[in-house]
Amino acid sequence: MSLKRSSFSFFFLLFSFFSLSSHVSSQACQKTCGQIPIKYPLGTGAGCGDPRFTRYITCDPDQQTLTLTTHTGCYPITSVDYAKQEIYVTDPSMSTCACTRPSHGFGLDWDAPFSFHDDTVFTLLDCSVDESPVFTPLSNGSGRVSLCDRQSSSICTFLYSNCRAISLINLQVSTCCVYVPLDLGPSFEMDLKKLQCSSYSGFYNLGPGQESHPENWNYGIALKYKFNVFDEYPGVCGGCERSNGACGFNTQTSSFVCNCPGGINTTSDCFFLYNSASILVPWLSREWVVYPLSWIVVWMVMSLR
């Protein structure tokens, strides 16, 4: 009876192993989204990357586009610099030298794992001098003073004088406000309706010798991120990626898993795929776990007793 029971268990394991590919193929994490490489902490779906980023960054499986979603809208991600921990996004409603558009503004969720990069500069366009809070009345009632960043006022001048699309709206230089993200307050909110401004422009990394050529500026928004509170790259994730795996997490417990080719999840790395002395078996949690083949042999021998 013990031999029959052991044989049944062995064939069940073999059946589970060979039927695994059809069971987990849809759970594989992608290594790219369109032309953008995907590495930790970003992911392409549930269980991929860092769970803090999953709700904000997604990959459209059909269009293969990487998108940042906040409470103000959805924004295409143009590139990611993993070495510098920077993400670059565009806003389709943003005004540039090519076209001016009305916009609602841009904001980050207060609990999002991102912040504005110091190189990101915003300009408010077409703000009401009489009603916009960026112009505060003087205490003596003799007029209003602008809260614009005066050190960057030359940026406004270049936009109005060298940017045909923006110059066509006939704005005064005084109606443009340039500021750093810190001035947006703790919620990082840019509500153009509240600010009484019709549009905005954002850019980063003007480039050497390009300050007076706004048509060549990098329009968009640069964000930076941290891996965790101490900004330390998880060592277990490094081992996973070196073994051609993708760092992910258990969707129920948020604990780390390494997603290997074929959609197989392990708690360490994918080197077992290159080691024939391993086998994959189902566990009580309805997940698949890799065990050394020697363990399986020991288990079968014990079952004979």
Centre a 10 Å sphere on the Cβ of residue 245 and count the other Cβ atoms it contains.
25
φ/ψ of 264, rounded to 5, equals: -80, 130
Q: Is the pLDDT of residue 267 over 80?
A: yes
Looking at residue 58, what is its pLDDT?
93
- Tell which wins on pLDDT, 27 or 164: 164
Tokens of 289: 């776990």
User: What residues contact 213, with CB distance under 8 A and at least 6 apart?
Assistant: 158, 162
Q: Across residues 265-290, what is the average pLDDT?
A: 60
Rounded to two decimals, the pTM is 0.74
Lowest mean pLDDT among 91-100, 143-152, 255-264: 143-152
| Residue of 174, 71, 160 lying closest to 132 (CA atoms) | 174
Centre a 10 Å sphere on the Cβ of residue 256 and count the other Cβ atoms it contains.
17
User: What residues contact 27, with CB distance under 8 A and at least 6 apart?
Assistant: 47, 259, 263, 265
- The vertex-92 CA angle with 86 and 94, nearest 5°, equals 85
If pLDDT is split at 50, 70 and 90, which confidence band does 18 have?
very low
Q: Across residues 265-270, what is the average pLDDT?
A: 89
Tokens of 299: 């288990």
Looking at residue 172, what is its pLDDT?
57
The residue written with tokens 């205490």 in the block is 139
Q: Across residues 268-285, what is the average pLDDT?
A: 60
| Alpha carbon of residue 169 to chain centroid | 34
At position 13, the amino acid (one-letter code) is L
Q: How far apart are CA 22 and CA 138, in angstroms?
A: 71
pLDDT tens-digit series, residues 98-109: 888 888 888 888
Q: How far is CA 194 from CA 1, 133, 134, in A?
A: 79, 8, 10
- Tell which wins on pLDDT, 178 or 163: 163
User: pLDDT > 70: what percent of the chain?
Assistant: 68
Looking at residue 105, what is its pLDDT?
85
Q: Is the pLDDT of residue 62 over 80?
A: yes
Q: Across residues 269-289, what is the average pLDDT?
A: 55
Q: How far apart are CA 148 and CA 178, in angstroms?
A: 6
pLDDT tens-digit series, residues 177-196: 555 554 555 556 778 888 88
Task: List b or e across 264-286, with b for residues whose CB sees 16 or more CB atoms inside 10 angstroms.
Answer: bbbeebbbbbeeeebbbbeeeee
Q: How far apart are CA 28 and CA 8, in angstroms?
A: 30
Q: Is the pLDDT of residue 61 over 70?
A: yes
φ/ψ of 228, rounded to 5, equals: -165, -170
